[in-house]
Amino acid sequence: MKIDVLVDAKGLSCPMPLVKAKKAIDAMLVGQLMELHSTDKGALTDFQAWVNKSNNEIVKVDTISGIYTFVIRKG
């Protein structure tokens, strides 16, 4: 899977991971993939909710030792 944009939001508190993701996705082309890292405990629910309200899609989610990794395709 070729990642086009990597967003590191580790250590950042609400609402920064969301704001960083939004900024990054605005600059991407439709179909491109963003990989996002967050350590915010609400990240799983937050990003699911955000993606549901947009044309974007979560392709992959991973949780490894407190780091949430999302791969999101821009729609």
Partner 1 sequence: MEKEKTTIVLFSGDLDKAIAAFIIANGAAAYDHDVTIFFTFWGLNTLRKDEHVDVKKGWLEKAFGWMMPRGAKKLGLSKLNMLGIGPPMIKHVMKKHNALSLPQLIELAREQGVKLVACTMTMDLLGLKEDELVDGLTYAGVSAYLGDATDAKVNLFI
| Contact residues: partner 1, CB under 8 A | 11-16, 18-19, 21-22, 50, 53-54
We find the least distance from the C-beta atom of residue 14 to partner 1, in angstroms, to be: 7
Our CB check for partner 1 shows the closer of 4 and 42 to be 42
Query: Quick one: tokens of 48?
Result: 């699911």
Distance of closest approach, residue 69 Cβ to partner 1, in angstroms: 19
Q: Is residue 14 flagged as an active site residue?
A: yes
**From 3, 6, 14, 27, active-site residue:** 14
- Write the burial class of residue 3 (CB in 10 Å: 0-12 exposed, 13-18 middle, 19+ buried): exposed
Query: Shortest Cβ distance from residue 12 to partner 1 (Å)?
Result: 6
Question: Cα–Cα–Cα angle for 16, 50, 8, nearest 5°?
Answer: 40
Whole-number Å distance between alpha carbons of 68 and 7: 12
Active site residues: 14
